Amino acid sequence: MSLEIKVPAVGESISEVTIGQWFKNDGDHVEMDEVICELESDKATFELTAEAAGILKTNAKEGDTLEIGDVICTIDTNASGDSAPAEKAADSPKEESSSSTGGATGEVKEMVVPTVGESITEVTLATWLKNDGDYVELDEIIAEVDSDKATFELPAEANGILRHVAQEGDTLEIGGLICKIEVTEGGAPQGEPAPAAKESASASASASANETYATGHASPAAAKILAEKGIDPKDVNGTGKDGRVTKEDAEKAQKAAKPAAKQESKPAAKTADAEAPKVSGDRNSRREKMTSLRRTISRRLVSVKNETAMLTTFNEVNMKPIMDIRKQYKDKFKEKHGVNLGFMSFFTKAVCVALQEWPAVNAQIDGNEIVYNDFCDISIAVSAPKGLVVPVIRNAEKLSFDEVEKEVVRLATKARDNKLSIDEMTGGTFTLTNGGIFGSMMSTPIINAPQSAILGMHNIVERPMAVNGEVKILPMMYLALSYDHRIIDGRESVSFLVRVKELLEDPTRLLFGV
Q: Percent of the chain beyond pLDDT 90?
A: 36
Out of 16-20, 269-273, 341-345, 507-511, give the one with best mean pLDDT. 341-345
pLDDT in tens, 428-442: 999 999 988 888 899
Do 51 and 30 touch, CB atoms closer than 8 A? no
Decide if pLDDT at 244 tops 60.
yes
The reply to whether 489 belongs to the active site is yes
Give all strands of the β-sheet with 151-155 in edge-to-edge order.
151-155, 141-146, 122-128, 171-173
CATH number for the region 2-76 comes to 2.40.50.100
Q: Percent of the chain beyond pLDDT 70?
A: 79
The reply to whether 485 belongs to the active site is yes
Which of the following is catalytic: 82, 282, 417, 485?
485
pLDDT in tens, 192-210: 555 544 554 444 444 444 5
Q: What is the pLDDT of residue 348?
A: 95
- Which one has a higher pLDDT value, 95 or 123? 123
Buried b or exposed e, range 177-200, using 16+ CB within 10 angstroms? ebbbbbbbeeebbeebeeeeeeee
When pLDDT is averaged across residues 432-455 and rounded to a whole number, the result is 91
In this predicted structure, which of 105-114, 222-231, 464-473, 474-483 has the lowest mean pLDDT? 222-231
Out of 39-43, 200-204, 441-445, give the one with best mean pLDDT. 441-445
Decide if pLDDT at 456 tops 50.
yes
Q: Which CATH number is correct for 293-512, 3.30.559.10, 3.40.250.10, 3.50.50.60, 1.10.3720.10? A: 3.30.559.10
When pLDDT is averaged across residues 390-397 and rounded to a whole number, the result is 94
When pLDDT is averaged across residues 471-489 and rounded to a whole number, the result is 95
Q: Which CATH number is correct for 92-201, 3.10.180.10, 2.40.50.100, 1.20.1090.10, 1.20.1250.20? A: 2.40.50.100
Do 44 and 422 touch, CB atoms closer than 8 A? yes
pLDDT in tens, 345-379: 999 999 999 999 999 999 999 989 999 999 999 99
Q: What is the pLDDT of residue 209?
A: 45
| CA–CA distance, 53 with 32 (Å, rounded to integer) | 5
Out of 121-125, 234-238, 321-325, give the one with best mean pLDDT. 321-325
pLDDT in tens, 490-503: 999 999 999 999 99
pLDDT band with cut points at 50, 70 and 90 for residue 163: very high
Do 298 and 306 touch, CB atoms closer than 8 A? no
Q: What is the pLDDT of residue 175?
A: 86
Domain boundaries, the chain: 2-76, 92-201, 293-512
Q: What is the pLDDT of residue 288?
A: 82
Average pLDDT, the chain: 81
Q: What is the pLDDT of residue 446?
A: 92
pLDDT band with cut points at 50, 70 and 90 for residue 479: very high
Which of the following is catalytic: 282, 324, 374, 489?
489
Are 2-76 and 293-512 equal in CATH topology? Answer: no
State whether the Cα torsion 299-300-305-307 is positive or negative: positive
For 462, the enclosing helix (H) or strand (E) is strand 453-467
Q: What is the pLDDT of residue 106?
A: 78
